[in-house]
Amino acid sequence: ETGVTQTPRHLVMGMTNKKSLKCEQHLGHNAMYWYKQSAKKPLELMFVYSLEERVENNSVPSRFSPECPNSSHLFLHLHTLQPEDSALYLCASSQRPSEGGYTFGSGTRLTVV
Amino acid sequence: GQNIDQPTEMTATEGAIVQINCTYQTSGFNGLFWYQQHAGEAPTFLSYNVLDGLEEKGRFSSFLSRSKGYSYLLLKELQMKDSASYLCAVRDSNYQLIWGAGTKLIIKP
């Protein structure tokens, strides 16, 4: 399988649940990203990993917890989310953190009820 | 603050030409990107401009004027499959990508 794969595609969770989003890339890229996409708003960068080390954390609430066990996999652990966290969560990868030509996954549509 | 402006929505007719504008105010400039995103799908890279002028790639062209903080994406011979959102993004002096909110393009027969 090639490209960037995200699972699940859709997720509905209660505010007290704990869930995880998964991202996998088979492109040999060294940088991976989590973005939040809300309707009619710009993409919001959440986390950046380069060679499995977190290089950026844009003041994201602690209820979002990233994990990068290796250069091909990225997780976003979710707990005690709020309804305003409902959005499309996109994973992306690139050869280097400074590159802009990202390859995106199709995203996880998250609904918090 | 840093800002990218692009129209929220545009409508065009199949077979016609449409121009989607993007203006930016950023801390420095290290390139401008256009992405296409179909509903429910991943954004896909369309073009990259770092020098002034026009970059042509098939039916799609992208123009940049750094002095004006302005770019446009030109789509020719529109097809129904071009109905999508088009995202403009600028890489600033810290090599961070600053994103616009996207332009939803609706193509009518």
pLDDT at A96: 85
Give A6-51 pLDDT, tens digit per residue: 999 999 999 988 999 999 999 999 999 999 999 989 999 999 998 8
Residues of chain B below pLDDT 50: none
- Residue among A70, A94, A80, A82 nearest A22 (CA): A70
Could you please report the per-residue DSSP string of A43-65? -EEEEEEETTEEEEE-S--TTEE
Q: Is the pLDDT of residue A105 over 80?
A: yes
Instruction: Check CB contact under 8 Å for B97 and A45.
Output: yes
What's CA B17's distance to the chain center, in Å?
A: 14
Identity at B28, one-letter amino acid code:
G
Q: Which of residues 36-95 of B touch A (CB under 8 A)?
A: 40-45, 48, 87, 89, 91, 95
Return mean pLDDT, chain A. Answer: 92
pLDDT at A37: 96
Rounded to an integer, what distance in angstroms lies between the CA atom of residue A34 and that of residue A77?
Answer: 12
pLDDT at A53: 80
pLDDT at A2: 62
> In this structure, what token pair is assigned to residue A36?
């939040």
